[in-house]
Chain A
Amino acid sequence: MTETTTIAHPAGAGQPEPGSGGAAYIELVGVSKSFDGALAVNNVDLSIRKGELFALLGASGCGKSTLLRMLSGFEQPTSGDILLEGQSLTGLPANQRPFNMMFQSYALFPHMTVEQNLAFGLKQERMDKREIESRVGEMLERVQMSEYRKRKPDQLSGGQQQRIALARCLVKRPKLLLLDEPMGALDKKLRTRMQLEIANILESVGVTCVMVTHDQEEAMTMANRIAIMDGGRILQVGTPDEIYEQPNCRYTAEFIGSVNLFDGVIVDDEVDYVNIKSPQARNTLHIGHGISGFAGQPVSVAVRPEKIQISLQKPEQAFNCEAGEVDEIAYLGSHSVYHVKLGSGMDVLVTALNDERWAGERLTWQDKVWVYWDEHSAVVLTS
């Protein structure tokens, strides 16, 4: 019986640049998982590149953890396959996979010191004692926990425990690091600090990492690429700005940031523009580029609040322009969020920078205003 983590490499496999569109490092092919007949993960195809920080983002119960546990080997897919550098991992138990997982609860061993916790995984590899010592020391330095090496986990703060949990994974030099809700056990203030700190550590180590989170801000801050999950399916994969600027469905648009959605049908479908009529808008919604749709197709038009202008004067344009009344204002210092009630009854969110010199110049409640946006600011969603 061997407990060491060894896996054969395909000889001479070229390593693509991190984050570039190179060959997949880890690949999920049609992976599904059902518990007692209920699908927790539904036919997921995903490819993860070497060196990237990949985030699985979705609401509670959407199957993120299950997907992560299949990667770690704690759960076996009901169908489909997981490949590492082209080799199937099916049947390889968790203790033999060259992957390490940081648990949401950290799962530090309470009866061992910080040092012993870090050495645990290396001892399993039957590594030389001196080698273990030097690797542990090096890793503790990297996470700036050297002076705590003799402490027990219950003598550490939440943030320190998290760094040790991370170090315990990284010291094994895993081919893939898995993080399940890495900030879940921290309070809000510490969370923001640790997000940057962990992202920095991961970058300096250069490890490939898949993290699970339901916090969009966390995913946007830390990840190179994000997959949006809902009901066990992956809805969209992309960089944070792709996901934000070009959502491909209502769910993604609404899940990431806030958005104004007009439901309507396509009336003109041309090569270089689309016109859409919506009962929520008096004027035509005009998109300055063609889409793959057809006249009469029901669609949604998504416009982010910061892409909308607000003004007391009627703008020149005949499209993408609605009259309304300021219903509510959330003053947030640098900017304000205006809730504008349109004639149709729809509530439109608009964010505007507070860059005027006099507060008196600002819009106020019950002001009759115009909201309008550019022909390239809106996104058409077909699902």
Chain B
Amino acid sequence: MKPAGRRWRLPGQHWLLVIPPYLWLLLFFLAPFAIVFKISLAESTIAQPPYTALYEYVNDVLTLRLSFSNYLFLLTDSLYFDAYVSSLRIAAISTLICLVIGYPIAYGIARAQGPMQSLLLMLVVLPSWTSFLIRIYAWMGILRNNGIINTVLMALGVVDEPVRMMNTELAVYIGIVYTYLPFLVLPLYSNLVKLDNRLLEAATDLGAGPVSRFLRITLPLSMGGVIAGCMLVFIPVVGEFVIPELLGGSETLMIGKVLWGEFFNNRDWPVASAVATVMLVVLLIPISLFHRYQFREMEGED
């Protein structure tokens, strides 16, 4: 238990430090969200902007018109519910795959010595130096029916006709895991690199072999990094639009695609806003989980 006074030791300076990030949040997150939320309570019209005003002030009477029809509409059409579930499922599976691939990578980098470590870290970040879109297009080139993989497979005589990979859910997973892997590896690495080697020595001394050491010391102590990394993958993947749009097919249902369709194809801004608001509410649980662990990590450091 911490003494109550401790966190607020230097009130004046503390507030100066805290204000900029809050201003930032207010300006770039809270304000846009307030606008989206406001639109989600309006009704669609053919006008400019394409939704009704929330309030009117006529003849000294303030009329507030809050429409919940957009939210109710989401319930009537199973498309939305299915899209949410499908997004969460794809995000969860991708996160799991990222974890399975990313943990050994992060562990390997954390255990590497000196210059080798910097080199490996560099290799993890290096791909993000090219544009995300270009890299996704590159994957299209690899996965196409007449792409690299199929050309090689056919030349070797492994298959007679091209394996369909483009526009499948497999392609979506490949794209997501490829893109988001560094977001899992980096926080996990920074956690694992702090692991005190003497704890592992103590465990060895008490009779633990390598498997037992990993399961009972390394893994539980790296849980903060695992959660942080997983949330950094899971949260953005739920709303992912570009990867399923470019690599996925019509069967890949994701909420980001639905959202895009409402905004740009149906021009139904209020329903699109309602979709976005619900998505945020759904994500509140993993986001708060992430912040709790992030906070704990930081607390552990000081």
Give the B-binding residues of A (Cβ under 8 A). Answer: 1, 3-5, 72, 74, 93-96, 99-101, 103, 105, 107-111, 120-121, 124-125, 168, 172
Chain B neighbourhood of A95, CB < 8 A: 204-209
Closest chain A residue, CB of each to CB of B199:
A107
Check if A110 sits within 8 Å of B206, measured CB to CB.
Answer: no
Closest chain B residue, CB of each to CB of A105:
B198
Check if B206 sits within 8 Å of A103, measured CB to CB.
Answer: no
| Complex: A95 Cα to B196 Cα, angstroms | 18
Contacts of B198-218 to chain A: CB distance below 8 A: 198-199, 201-209, 212, 216-217
Check if A124 sits within 8 Å of B205, measured CB to CB.
Answer: no
Asked whether B221 is an interface residue with its Cβ less than 8 Å from the other chain, the reply is yes
* B206 shortest CB reach to chain A, Å: 3
Q: Which of B204, B205, B207, B217 has a CB less than 8 Å from the CB of A125?
A: B207
Q: Which of A1, A103, A111 has a CB less than 8 Å from the CB of B202?
A: A103
A-B contact pairs, 19 of them (CB 8 A): A3-B207, A93-B204, A94-B201, A95-B204, A95-B205, A95-B207, A99-B205, A100-B206, A105-B196, A107-B198, A108-B202, A120-B216, A121-B206, A121-B207, A124-B206, A124-B207, A125-B207, A168-B206, A172-B207
Closest chain A residue, CB of each to CB of B217:
A109
Known: A74-B204, A95-B208, A99-B205. 18 other contacts (CB 8 A): A3-B212, A72-B205, A74-B201, A95-B209, A100-B205, A103-B201, A105-B196, A107-B196, A107-B202, A111-B220, A111-B221, A120-B203, A120-B208, A121-B207, A124-B207, A124-B208, A124-B212, A172-B207
Taking A110-B221, A111-B220, A111-B221 as contacts, is the C-beta distance between A96 and B201 under 8 angstroms?
Answer: no
Closest chain B residue, CB of each to CB of A118:
B206
Q: Which of B196, B206, B209, B216 has a CB less than 8 Å from the CB of A1?
A: B209
* B223 shortest CB reach to chain A, Å: 8
Give the A-binding residues of B (Cβ under 8 A). Answer: 196, 198-199, 201-209, 212, 216-217, 220-221
| Complex: A4 Cα to B196 Cα, angstroms | 24
Q: Which of B196, B208, B220 has a CB less than 8 Å from the CB of A3?
A: B208
| Complex: A5 Cα to B206 Cα, angstroms | 9
Chain B neighbourhood of A111, CB < 8 A: 220-221
| Complex: A172 Cα to B204 Cα, angstroms | 13
Which 10 interchain pairs have the tightest Cβ spacing?
Answer: A121-B206, A124-B207, A107-B202, A107-B198, A3-B209, A95-B204, A94-B204, A101-B205, A111-B220, A95-B207
* A160 shortest CB reach to chain B, Å: 17
Chain A neighbourhood of B217, CB < 8 A: 109
* B212 shortest CB reach to chain A, Å: 6
* A116 shortest CB reach to chain B, Å: 10
Check if B207 sits within 8 Å of A96, measured CB to CB.
Answer: yes
| Complex: A93 Cα to B221 Cα, angstroms | 24
* B222 shortest CB reach to chain A, Å: 10
Check if A4 sits within 8 Å of B205, measured CB to CB.
Answer: no
Check if B206 sits within 8 Å of A120, measured CB to CB.
Answer: yes
Closest chain B residue, CB of each to CB of A116:
B216
Residue among B204, B206, B220, B221 having the largest count of chain A Cβ atoms under 10 Å: B206
Check if B207 sits within 8 Å of A4, measured CB to CB.
Answer: yes
Chain A neighbourhood of B201, CB < 8 A: 74, 94, 103, 107
* A192 shortest CB reach to chain B, Å: 26
Chain A neighbourhood of B216, CB < 8 A: 120
Residue among B205, B216, B217 having the largest count of chain A Cβ atoms under 10 Å: B205
| Complex: A94 Cα to B210 Cα, angstroms | 12
Check if B221 sits within 8 Å of A103, measured CB to CB.
Answer: no
| Complex: A255 Cα to B255 Cα, angstroms | 76
Chain A neighbourhood of B198, CB < 8 A: 103, 105, 107
* B107 shortest CB reach to chain A, Å: 18
* B218 shortest CB reach to chain A, Å: 11
Residue among B199, B204, B221 having the largest count of chain A Cβ atoms under 10 Å: B204
Closest chain A residue, CB of each to CB of B220:
A111
Closest chain B residue, CB of each to CB of A155:
B1
* B204 shortest CB reach to chain A, Å: 5
Residue among A100, A107, A111, A168 having the largest count of chain B Cβ atoms under 10 Å: A107
| Complex: A105 Cα to B198 Cα, angstroms | 8
Check if B202 sits within 8 Å of A172, measured CB to CB.
Answer: no
| Complex: A105 Cα to B209 Cα, angstroms | 22
| Complex: A99 Cα to B202 Cα, angstroms | 12
* A127 shortest CB reach to chain B, Å: 11
Residue among A4, A111, A168 having the largest count of chain B Cβ atoms under 10 Å: A111
Closest chain B residue, CB of each to CB of A72:
B205
Chain A neighbourhood of B221, CB < 8 A: 110-111
| Complex: A124 Cα to B209 Cα, angstroms | 9
Residue among B196, B202, B207, B221 having the largest count of chain A Cβ atoms under 10 Å: B207
Closest chain B residue, CB of each to CB of A4:
B207
Closest chain B residue, CB of each to CB of A96:
B207
| Complex: A99 Cα to B207 Cα, angstroms | 9
| Complex: A284 Cα to B239 Cα, angstroms | 96
Chain B neighbourhood of A125, CB < 8 A: 207
Closest chain A residue, CB of each to CB of B1:
A155
| Complex: A124 Cα to B221 Cα, angstroms | 19
Chain A neighbourhood of B203, CB < 8 A: 109, 120
Q: Which of B199, B205, B207, B212 has a CB less than 8 Å from the CB of A109?
A: B199
| Complex: A101 Cα to B212 Cα, angstroms | 18
Chain B neighbourhood of A120, CB < 8 A: 203, 206, 208, 216
| Complex: A10 Cα to B221 Cα, angstroms | 41
Closest chain B residue, CB of each to CB of A111:
B220
Chain A neighbourhood of B205, CB < 8 A: 72, 74, 94-95, 99-101
Closest chain A residue, CB of each to CB of B211:
A1
Chain B neighbourhood of A107, CB < 8 A: 196, 198-199, 201-202
| Complex: A121 Cα to B213 Cα, angstroms | 11
| Complex: A357 Cα to B204 Cα, angstroms | 61
Chain A neighbourhood of B208, CB < 8 A: 3, 95, 120, 124
| Complex: A100 Cα to B201 Cα, angstroms | 11
| Complex: A1 Cα to B207 Cα, angstroms | 12
* A3 shortest CB reach to chain B, Å: 5
* A93 shortest CB reach to chain B, Å: 8
| Complex: A56 Cα to B220 Cα, angstroms | 36
Q: Which of B199, B202, B207 has a CB less than 8 Å from the CB of A5?
A: B207
* A282 shortest CB reach to chain B, Å: 57
